[in-house]
C-alpha cells in the first residue's frame, strides 16, 4: 500500500509505512486535526445498517495500491510474466472483494476460492507453456495475499511450471527472499512496495508513490532494477485505505464521495472511527482535513479496518470508518 495503516508489518516500509493510506504510507503528523465541532454544521449522526459502502476518494487522497506481481529478475521469462499477467487482467477491485468474502466470510480455503475464480474467469484457457522448472510463489501472512498466491500458482502450473506456494510473513521477510531468488514471485501492492524499496535504495529519498498509477509503476520498475526485481502488469484491483459508511447512512444523507461527506457532514454529530494513529496520519483523519476540509465532531479509537470498526458502523456508533477497499465485508448483497 503506499503505506497502509491497515496492513500488517509487511506494509510498513523502511520509513514508517502505514497503510499508505491510513491498508499498510505516511509519516506521522505532529498534532491531531481540530476536533471539528468547530466546522459549524450539525453533522451527520451514525445510521446503523448491515451493508457497508466505500465513499469515492474523488480528490485522490490515497496512493494507488494496485495488485502487481513482483518477480525475481533472474527467474523471470516472457512466458512466466505472461502467465502472471493473466491474473492481473482478470482481477478488479470488485472481484478481489468477492475473493476475500469467499475466504474471510464464507470460510473457504484460499486454494478453493482461487480455483473457483480461475474456472469462472477462464484463467488458464490458451495459456502459453514455458520452459518449465520449479517456481516458488511467496505470500504474505494475510488471507488476501495467500489467495493471490494461489491464483499465481494456477496460471504458472498451466504454463508448465512445478509450483510451490509458501506463506512467508511480512514484507521485511519475503522481499529479501525474493531478491535472493529463494522465492520466484509474490503478489505485491504498487505504491506500498515503491515506498518500501525506495527506503532500501536511499533512506533520504522522496517517497515515489502517489495516486498516479503510471508514475508509481514507473518508479517501482526503476527501483526494482536496482534490487534485481521485475514486475508484471498491474491489475485494476486495489487494496488501499478507504472510508466506509453504511448504505443506510449514504442514502439518508445523499453522500457517495468524500467531497459529499465533507460538504454535508462536517459537524458535531459526525463520528469518525479508526485506529489510534489515524488522527495524526496524512492518509487518515489528517488527510481528510487537509484534502477535503472534512471535520468530524468526534473520533473514536477502534482498529485498522478490522471487526471493531466494521461492527461500529453496522451498529450505528460511528458515522464513517477506515477500512480496506478490498474487504470482503464490502461485497454487495
What pLDDT shows up at residue 39? 46
The span from the CA of 216 to the CA of 190, in Å, is 7
pLDDT band at 195 (very low <50, low <70, confident <90, very high): very high
User: What does the pLDDT read at residue 29?
Assistant: 33
One-character DSSP codes across 147-212:
HHHHHHHHHHHHTT-EEEEEEEESHHHHHHHHHHTSSSEEEEEHHHHHHHHHHHH-TTSPP---S-
Given a cut of 90, is residue 40 above it in pLDDT?
Answer: no
Secondary structure element (H or E) that encloses residue 223, with its range: helix 213-227
C-alpha grid cell, residue 266 = 462536517
Whether residue 166 is predicted with pLDDT greater than 50 in this model: the reply is yes
Give the sign of the dihedral formed by CA 103, CA 108, CA 109, CA 113.
negative
Q: What is the pLDDT of residue 128?
A: 87
> Residue 80: pLDDT band by 50, 70, 90 thresholds?
very high
pLDDT value of residue 21? 36
CATH class name, domain 67-231: alpha beta
Distances (CA, A) of 13 to 170, 212, 311: 10, 20, 29
How far is Cα 314 from Cα 51, in angstroms, rounded to an integer? 7
Q: Is the pLDDT of residue 319 over 80?
A: yes
Q: What is the mean pLDDT of residues 77-83?
A: 96
Average pLDDT of span 92-119: 97
Whole-model pTM: value is 0.86
3-state secondary structure of 300: strand
Binned at pLDDT 50, 70 and 90, residue 79 comes out as very high
The pLDDT-based confidence of 333 (bands split at 50, 70, 90) is: low
H or E element: which one contains 220?
helix 213-227
Domain ranges of the chain: 26-62+240-330, 67-231
pLDDT at 87: 98
pLDDT at 36 over 70: no
Inform me whether the pLDDT recorded for 150 exceeds 50: yes
Supply 74's cell numbers.
Answer: 533472474
Mean pLDDT, residues 169-187 taken together? 96
Least confident of 32-46, 80-94, 131-145, 290-304: 32-46
Provide φ and ψ at 229, rounded to 5°: -120, 145
Contacts of 225 (CB under 8 A, 6+ apart): none
Q: Are 268 and 297 in contact (CB under 8 A)?
A: yes
Instruction: Compute and round to an integer the Cα radius of gyration of the chain.
Output: 20
Superfamily of structural domain 26-62+240-330: Osmoprotection protein (prox); domain 2 (3.40.190.120)
- Kindly list the distances between the CA atom of residue 111 and the CA atoms of 73, 102, 155, 230, in Å, as whole numbers in the listed order: 26, 11, 13, 26
**How would you label 224-250 residue by residue, b for 16+ Cβ within 10 Å and e otherwise?**
beebbbbbbbbbebbbbbbbbbbebbb
Half-sphere exposure of residue 329, counting CA atoms within 13 Å on the CB side?
25
Cα dihedral: 107, 10, 332, 56 (round 10):
170
- Residue 169: per-residue pLDDT: 87
User: What does the mean pLDDT of the chain come to?
Assistant: 89
> pLDDT band at 15, cuts 50/70/90?
very low
Per-residue pLDDT band at 271 (split at 50, 70, 90): very high
Amino acid at each position: 500500500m503506499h503505506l497502509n495503516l491497515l496492513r500488517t508489518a509487511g506494509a510498513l516500509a523502511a520509513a514508517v509505512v502505514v497503510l499508505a493510506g491510513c491498508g499498510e504510507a505516511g509519516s506521522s503528523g505532529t498534532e491531531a486535526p481540530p476536533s471539528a465541532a468547530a466546522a459549524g454544521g450539525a453533522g451527520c449522526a451514525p445510521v446503523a445498517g448491515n451493508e457497508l459502502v466505500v465513499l469515492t476518494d474523488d480528490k485522490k487522497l490515497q496512493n494507488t495500491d494496485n495488485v502487481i506481481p513482483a518477480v525475481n529478475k533472474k527467474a523471470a521469462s516472457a512466458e512466466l510474466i505472461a502467465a502472471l499477467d493473466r491474473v492481473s487482467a482478470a482481477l478488479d477491485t470488485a472481484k478481489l472483494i468477492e475473493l476475500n468474502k469467499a475466504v474471510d466470510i464464507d470460510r473457504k480455503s484460499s486454494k478453493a476460492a482461487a480455483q473457483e475464480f480461475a474456472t469462472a474467469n477462464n484463467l488458464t484457457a490458451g495459456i502459453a507453456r514455458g520452459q518449465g522448472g520449479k517456481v516458488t510463489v511467496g505470500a504474505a501472512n494475510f488471507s488476501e495475499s495467500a489467495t493471490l498466491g494461489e491464483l499465481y500458482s494456477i496460471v504458472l502450473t498451466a504454463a508448465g511450471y512445478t509450483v510451490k506456494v509458501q506463506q512467508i510473513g511480512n514484507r521485511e521477510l519475503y522481499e529479501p527472499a525474493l531478491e535472493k531468488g529463494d522465492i520466484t514471485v509474490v503478489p505485491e501492492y504498487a505504491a506500498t512496495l515503491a515506498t518500501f524499496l525506495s527506503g532500501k535504495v536511499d533512506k533520504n529519498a522522496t517517497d515515489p508513490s502517489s495516486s498516479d498509477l503510471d508514475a508509481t509503476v514507473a518508479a517501482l520498475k526503476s527501483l526494482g532494477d536496482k534490487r534485481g526485481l521485475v514486475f508484471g502488469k498491474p491489475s485494476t484491483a486495489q487494496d488501499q485505505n478507504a472510508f466506509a459508511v453504511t448504505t443506510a447512512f449514504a442514502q439518508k444523507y445523499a453522500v457517495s464521495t468524500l467531497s459529499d461527506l465533507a460538504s454535508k457532514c462536517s459537524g458535531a454529530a459526525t463520528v469518525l472511527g479508526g485506529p489510534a494513529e489515524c488522527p495524526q496520519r496524512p492518509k487518515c483523519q489528517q488527510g481528510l482535513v487537509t484534502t477535503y476540509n472534512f471535520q468530524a465532531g468526534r473520533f473514536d479509537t477502534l482498529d485498522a479496518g478490522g471487526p471493531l470498526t466494521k461492527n461500529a458502523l453496522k451498529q450505528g456508533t460511528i458515522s464513517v470508518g477506515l477500512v480496506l477497499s478490498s474487504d470482503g465485508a464490502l461485497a454487495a448483497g
